[in-house]
């Protein structure tokens, strides 16, 4: 059997970020406000996108403790 737990984690991360980048949440951040001159929507998109990449990289590169013992 291949690493099904890693696949489940990556699927959960993908589903979570699909929800975070979907319309209802995007409409919350779609205002005229700015943070440091950057629109809040653009800032939200870049932060969520960066977190998605970081989370996927973390789970892909993480070593399984059972495999380290062998």
CA atoms of 41 and 25, how far apart (whole Å): 10
pTM score, two decimals?
A: 0.78
What are the pLDDT digits (tens) for 17-49?
A: 999 999 989 999 999 899 999 999 999 999 999
User: What are the phi and psi torsion angles at 21 (to 5°)?
Assistant: -105, 20
Q: Does 5 score more than 90 pLDDT?
A: no
Contact 21, 53 (CB under 8 A): no
Per domain, the residue ranges of the chain are 4-61
């Amino acid at each position: 059997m291949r690493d099904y737990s890693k696949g489940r984690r990556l699927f959960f991360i993908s589903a979570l970020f699909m929800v975070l980048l979907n319309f209802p949440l995007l409409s919350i951040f779609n205002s005229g406000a700015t943070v440091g001159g950057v629109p809040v929507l653009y800032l939200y998109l870049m932060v969520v996108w960066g977190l998605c990449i970081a989370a996927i990289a973390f789970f892909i590169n993480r070593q399984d403790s059972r495999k380290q013992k062998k």
